[in-house]
Structure 1
Amino acid sequence: MTKRSSGDFMSMFGLLIGCILFGLGSLIVAHVESVGGFAMAFWRLLISALIFWVLALLFRQKFPTNKKATLFALLSGVALGLDLALWHESIYAVGPGISTLLNSLQIFFLAFIGFVWFGERQTKMQLLSLVLASLGVAFIASPEFAHNKAALWGFVSGIASGAFLALSMAFIRRTHETVSVPILPMMTIVGAGGATSLLPMMLLWDWGKIMPTTLSEVGWILVYGAVMQCLAWGLIAFSIPRLALSLTGLLLLSEPVAALVIDYFWLHKPINGLQWGGAFLVMVAIYLGSLKAKSAKNT
């Protein structure tokens, strides 16, 4: 019992650190202005796939031979690539804080996937949580739409990115349920699947904004791929199979909190009282939805 609790604590801690690092990546995206959102996601996943592949060889971790597990890992990468590209687009449109908060609405997509795929029972509190989240998004959006012409695309892409992130997490869990796959080979496949699927989209939508223009931007992209994808997403992928999806969503609250604080105090984005109130409502909604989903599953 003690050993299992210790393992749960380590998984929760790993997920928390991974989420915070993941959110800090929004600063790099906002800083590297010469590279488009889809291209930025492509480079991040390509760099991570190469790093994970080398580490897998060094640590002699075997790649899966099960075709179903490989397919699930590839599909996780495709979904992750779309999540990152759309999240980047949202960052450019409405800033790191709001875009990361919108991305964190993934908890509702996670709850739905948990119910359909994994039999995680839900309660009526999910409906209340969704109403609170909708009100919160409305409070955040109203001032943004008044002065930001890109607000509509920022909100649509931010919410859509959360749906794809939830799908990516679910596919990671399905991979582990199919067969036990070591973390390094799995993340290599995820990165390769994401980069491959993003290549044609990058060439189509980001032509002319594919390559960084300075050595500084090259360095930031390398950090983005190595730290935010390899370390942060590796911790997330390692922790997800060991925790309920509802608890996963709760711990993911650390990401938007960090991003909002950074956006306001570091990047000096104007966020008024109504928007702070909306952000608070969204985070309360995510918390309640996670808590009640967890309670229902344990009953």
Structure 2
Amino acid sequence: MATASSRAAPISLVIGCIIFGLGSLIVAHVDIGGWAMSFWRLAISGIVFTILAKVMRQQMPQSKRAIFYGLLSGAFLGLDLALWHESIYAVGPGISTLLNSLQIFFLAAIGFLYFNERQSIVQVISLFLAMLGVAMIGSPEFAHNTAATWGFVTGIVSGAMLAASMTFIRKTHDTEPTPIFMLMQLISIGGVLAMIVPMFIFDTGHILPNTWSEIGWVLIYGTVMQCLAWGLIAYSIPKLSLALTGLLLLTEPIAALVIDYSWLDKPINSLQWGGALLTMLAIYLGSLKPKPRALRRYRFFSRFYMRDYK
């Protein structure tokens, strides 16, 4: 018989993903550079996680290697967020979030190369479906958007950076099991440090919010999108089956696409909608892990990080 928490898990997961999708709307409207926005998001969430770690009396890991891996995971997360923001500016929240979701294929490649995890036929097919879907999305975009190349490159590379961040979360925990709030504090610190130099190089003049309204939106972005939404997803994933988890996580790119089309008046034609649906199907198939070792890896990442940290 299902418990109340297990019945609430799917709803919590969907709400968390929708909140993440709304985060892209904040990025699109606040006049702050992509690298600076990443800096502020991680800095604000770092303060929150530090407070939570203190309240819960969680301790810093003793291993210097574990600390290094946690900081390195944060550096890659900072790059992921910054490039995702740049992609939002170039091609809109919907397409950029969908491209970032391709991280599942980079994660599979890392698992194959470094953890000796074999890929199933379904996963190989899903990769080709994703390539076809991205081509369907991109062909009309390149025809009318001069920034499309930059948007697609940064969106896809952001997925690779997210996969790298998730990999170093695993290495942190493998080196020394680390309490979740302390782990997120390390990740926030690593991301903030990694963003300082590129922020001043690429975002000069667009580092600080200009109005009280923008300050409020940045605070919401760092707390609600980074902490609350993450908490809902981290709470929900361990309580759900792998197949249902992969399906429900697709509500994030769906929400971003709907927001992009309805609120931001992004022109998305039928070919692009078809490509988006095909890409989301590919992402769902790619998230299925039939091999026992791969299943353990996916559940580990799901519990300590979740699929899209945005």
- TM-score by length of structure 1 reads 0.88
Q: What is the identity, as a one-letter code, of the residue corresponding to 1:114? A: G
Deviations 1:199-242 (A, max 9, x none): 00100110111011110000000000011112233555677899
Q: Is 1:296 paired with 2:294?
A: no
In 2, Cα distance between equivalents of 1:176 and 1:10: 28
In the TM superposition, structure 1's runs of 4+ consecutive aligned residues that sit over 4 Å from their partners are: 5-17, 234-251
Structure 2 residue 149 is matched with structure 1 residue 172: no
Q: Could you tell me which amino acid in structure 1 is paired with residue 92 of structure 2?
A: G
* Superposition RMSD in Å: 2.8
Match in the other structure for 2:22: 24
Task: Answer yes or no: is the 8 Å Cα contact 1:109–1:163 preserved in 2.
Answer: yes
Equivalent pair of 1:173/1:240 in contact (CA under 8 Å): no
Corresponding residue for residue 113 of structure 1: 110
Q: How does 1:1-299 map to 2 (within 5 A)?
A: 16-32=14-30, 34-235=31-232, 251-291=248-288, 294-297=289-292
Between 209-218 and 232-241, report the one with greater CA deviation: 232-241
Identify if the C-alpha distance between structure 1 residues 248 and 15 changes in structure 2 by more than 3 Å, giving closer, same or farther.
same
Q: Distance in 2 between matches of 1:245 and 1:223?
A: 30
The change in CA–CA distance for 1:174 and 1:238 in structure 2 (over 3 A counts) is: farther
Matched to 1:20, the amino acid is: I
Cα displacement (A) at 1:157 = 0.3
Q: Percent same amino acid among aligned pairs?
A: 64
Q: Give the letter aligned to residue 155 of structure 2.
A: G
Change (3 A) 1:15 1:77: farther
Indicate how the Cα distance of structure 1 residues 176 and 243 shifts in structure 2: closer, same or farther if over 3 A, else same: farther
Farther off after superposition, 176-185 or 248-257: 248-257
Does structure 2 conserve the Cα–Cα contact (< 8 Å) formed by 1:106 and 1:249? no
Count residues with an aligned counterpart: 294
Q: How far did 1:179 drift? A: 2.2
Single out whichever of 81-90 and 131-140 deviates more from structure 2.
131-140
Quick one: distance in 2 between partners of 1:154 and 1:84?
13
Report the residue type matching 2:37 in the other structure.
Answer: M
Q: State the AA in 2 paired with 1:31.
A: H
What SS does the aligned partner of 1:35 have? coil
Q: How big is the shift at 1:23?
A: 2.4
Counterpart CA distance in 2 for 1:111 and 1:268 is 35
Code of the residue aligned with 1:171 in structure 2: it is F
Looking at structure 2, the residues matched to 244 and 67 of structure 1 have their Cα atoms a distance apart, in angstroms, of: 35
CA distance in 2, matches of 1:68, 1:16: 35
In structure 2, C-alpha distance between the alignment counterparts of 1:37 and 1:237, rounded to whole Å: 25
SS at match of 2:207: coil
Distance 1:10 1:187 in 2: 25
Distance 2:51 2:260 in 1: 35
| C-alpha spacing 1:264/1:295, structure 2 compared with 1 (3 Å) | same
1:136-173 residue CA offsets vs partner (Å, 9 max, x unmatched):
11111111111111000000000001111111122223
Structure-2-length-normalised TM-score = 0.85
Which letter maps to 1:182? P
- Please give the secondary structure, in 2, of the residue aligned with 1:295: coil
Structure 2: distance between partners of 1:11 and 1:132? 29
Farther off after superposition, 120-129 or 253-262: 120-129
When residues 240 and 71 of structure 1 are mapped into structure 2, their CA distance, relative to the original with a 3 A threshold, is farther
Measure, in 2, the Cα distance between the counterparts of 1:52 and 1:233: 12
The CA deviation at 1:275 is 0.2
